[in-house]
Structure 1
Amino acid sequence: MPALTVPPVDPWVPAPVTKEEDLEWADLTTIDLEKCKTPEGRAEQAKLARDAMHRQGFFYVINHGLDQATVNRLFDIAALPFDKVEQDEKIRYEAKIKQTGTYLGYKLPQYWHIANGVRDRIEHYNFPRELTQREHPTVLRPYLPEVQKYVEFTHVDILNQVQKLLSLGLELPENTLTDMHPYDETNFSFGRFMMYNPRPQEEEERTEGVWMKGHADHTSMTALWSQPVTALQIKDFDGQWRYIRHKDNALVINCGDTLEYLSGGYYKSAIHRVVKPPADQDGYRRLGLFYFMYTADSVRLAPLMDSPVLQREGVTKVVEGEIPTEETWRKTRTATYGVSDLKKSEEAGIEYEIVNGVQVKHYN
């Protein structure tokens, strides 16, 4: 059988890994999907995933089924909408975020307020789970079959496997969470190519080096491919900010608000932020490859009270008042993020907004 011919693409050259030695790293658990092929290994990985989501809301996933060459090519493709698309075409595909409650299309720089009058220098291109639902910039079109294959593999072959482990961690049937996250027309999960551009020193000083404020994702889970620019930090279990270390060909998975509500607060929605990289990576652009996973739109964000774990441990997080559906939750959170007026909290360094009756915190 002849090899599949794919269109050529200019290689993305990532930054060298930092050699800074005085950075404080988060100690994240690594989930090995290869070990899930035996009953003993599956039980072991389910316990590791459960404990990691309960304690930190973050972990790595390795042996996921995509080799390094495939991931490298995906990064090559991810750079195209930033480096090979003219500004007028970007504007033509700009997302109508506030109007639609979705990010689909370009989020151009200067959209979000960071601090002290400084706006972001982050650009991303967002695409739906089913890429044929909308038109894409010309340069991306030859690569859409590869991107679609990546989206489906990430959702079905990786994240659904992770969800089975997390269902077992709640002592529920392993398909409990998977069935709530179908890969079909009821699900509005989406992918993102994301570019962080360096900022002038004056802006770094006015924001104290924060590129994106500390926040929790409103999704069920977020999957991002590890890349070498050291800028992502987690607000760890003890309240300290720590860096996420780069791990070759690993996915970094974090828990979002949807999964936190479904687990009654047992799985922790991870607070994370992006900051100025170390000195030896200063000036490098940071390219990201993401997949944001939702439940089906009709799912209500109520705790899974059939879980023996929740029955024993109790519920610590629930939406007050009427329980929103995923559709209401995702659209409202997307429309307001980064553009609503925030109120000062009594907690130091924290601002908040009220979304669907929920206090959504932003960490400076």
Structure 2
Amino acid sequence: MTIDTKPPVPHYVHAPLTKENLTYADLGIVDLAKAATAEGRAELAATARDALHNIGFFYVVNHGLSQPETERMFDIADVPFSQVPEKDKLEFHANIIESGSFQGYKPRKYWHVNGGVQDEIETYNLHRDVTKKQHPQQLKPYLPEIAKFTGHNHDILNTILRLLAIGLELPEDTFVDQHGWDDENECYLRFMKYYPRTAEDEEKAEKVWLKGHTDGGSITVLWSQPVSALQILSQDGQWKWIRHMDNALVVNAGDCMEFLSGGFYKATIHRVIQPPVDQQGYTRLGILYFATPNEDIKLLPASGSPVLERVGIRRRFEDKDAPTVEVYRKGRTAAYGKSTLKQSEEKGIEEEIVSGVVVKHYN
């Protein structure tokens, strides 16, 4: 008989699924059970290619963790928030502006959201090598599991990156080589907890919890959870909800992937808003893996892609002005939610300049 020696962890109870009739985005599904063969990868690459070119998001299933294993990771994800006293968290606050990195705690009310309202989002961010930093005492018993989980996320990332390279008719490891586990890059795990806001703040912020934005990195892997709040801006200009799928991942491209793919893979605009009425009052716990290419890479379109030769390259800056990943990453991280935004000529859009690139925020 196998004895489970894992340390006990308090169980986090998610909100029940909403019963409201929401308008959901129609996303493709990438089944990683098919990724073991070249034929399977070719099929999945077409799905991933079309999804990131046309929409920017897709689901991943059969990623290698069972439902109970995923549920335990959500239990562990809540530990930095519910089990660590507020006074102890101060020791582990991230120096976001100075370092351009989120590693550690981002406290609530750090970002400006809308209408003078600050965010009610707490995050705890861990480098993919969990030994790089110190962690709260309450989290230490779970670090071996977190380390294994983070490595598993990076393996999933590598599979996705291979599919995206195939989609551009590039060598399979083109993007994998740019996200080396042992290289200098900011691939990291995030535990994220949204707390309910007052009715007054909801009105001031027009129910926006995190304004519309693109991610700054290359690929974001989100572990699906039941509270409906994430929306994407569809091609018809409408905000559509992301449907929860049990034990699935929601994957999207960020700015770095858009730059590296010559605009072929879109960094899709997404936001987080107040949940439906039947889920209001609940916290919303998230697990994400943010991938960013190696720090010294210049954000230039991939060369030698027959796909880009056929469809052309869509540029957001000239090649000579391309920043390195490190410069762009640090600039976006330090500025997000803290900089003064300028009103764009486009209605409902605010702008800032990061490393010579126009970054837009949507309300």
Shorter-chain TM-score category?
Answer: over 0.9
1:85 aligned partner: 84
Instruction: Output the amino acid matched with 2:5.
Output: T
2:56 aligned partner: 57
CA offsets 1:223-253 (integer angstroms, 9 cap, x no match):
0100000000001122210000000000100
Structure 2 CA distance for partners of 1:4 and 1:325, relative to 1, 3 Å = farther
**Distance in 1, Cα, partners of 2:296 & 2:116:** 39
TM-score using structure 1 length:
0.97
2:153 aligned partner: 154
Q: Residue 2 of structure 1: CA displacement?
A: 5.1
2:312 aligned partner: 314
1:191 aligned partner: 189
Which ranges of structure 1 fall in alignment gaps of 5 or more residues? none
1:178 aligned partner: 176
Equivalent residue of 2:175, what SS? helix
Q: Residue 319 of structure 1: CA displacement?
A: 2.8
1:9 aligned partner: 9
Structure 1 residue ranges, 4+ long, deviating more than 4 angstroms after superposition: 1-4
User: Which of 301, 317, 321 is the aligned partner of 2:299?
Assistant: 301
Instruction: Output the amino acid matched with 2:169.
Output: E
User: Does the CA-based 8 Å contact 1:32-1:62 persist in structure 2?
Assistant: yes
TM-score using structure 2 length:
0.98
Is residue 358 of structure 1 aligned with residue 357 of structure 2?
A: yes
Instruction: Output the amino acid matched with 2:176.
Output: T
Equivalent residue of 1:17, what SS? coil
Q: Residue 52 of structure 1: CA displacement?
A: 0.3
1:70 aligned partner: 69
- Count of residues in Structure 1 that have an aligned counterpart in Structure 2: 362
Equivalent residue of 1:191, what SS? strand
Q: Residue 298 of structure 1: CA displacement?
A: 1.3
1:265 aligned partner: 263
CA offsets 1:274-301 (integer angstroms, 9 cap, x no match):
0000011010100000110011111111
1:35 aligned partner: 34
Is residue 324 of structure 1 aligned with residue 323 of structure 2?
A: yes
CA offsets 1:185-222 (integer angstroms, 9 cap, x no match):
42221111000000011111111110000000001000
**Distance in 1, Cα, partners of 2:332 & 2:181:** 22
CA offsets 1:157-178 (integer angstroms, 9 cap, x no match):
x110011111000001111111
User: Which of 202, 221, 224 is the aligned partner of 1:223?
Assistant: 221
C-alpha RMSD of the superposition: 1.1
User: Does the CA-based 8 Å contact 1:302-1:318 persist in structure 2?
Assistant: no
**Distance in 2, Cα, partners of 1:361 & 1:318:** 12
Which ranges of structure 2 fall in alignment gaps of 5 or more residues? none
**Distance in 2, Cα, partners of 1:298 & 1:288:** 30
Equivalent residue of 1:127, what SS? strand
**Distance in 1, Cα, partners of 2:324 & 2:69:** 36
**Distance in 2, Cα, partners of 1:171 & 1:236:** 27
1:19 aligned partner: 19
**Distance in 2, Cα, partners of 1:187 & 1:276:** 33
**Distance in 2, Cα, partners of 1:131 & 1:36:** 28
Q: Residue 3 of structure 1: CA displacement?
A: 4.5
- Percent identity between matched residues is 54
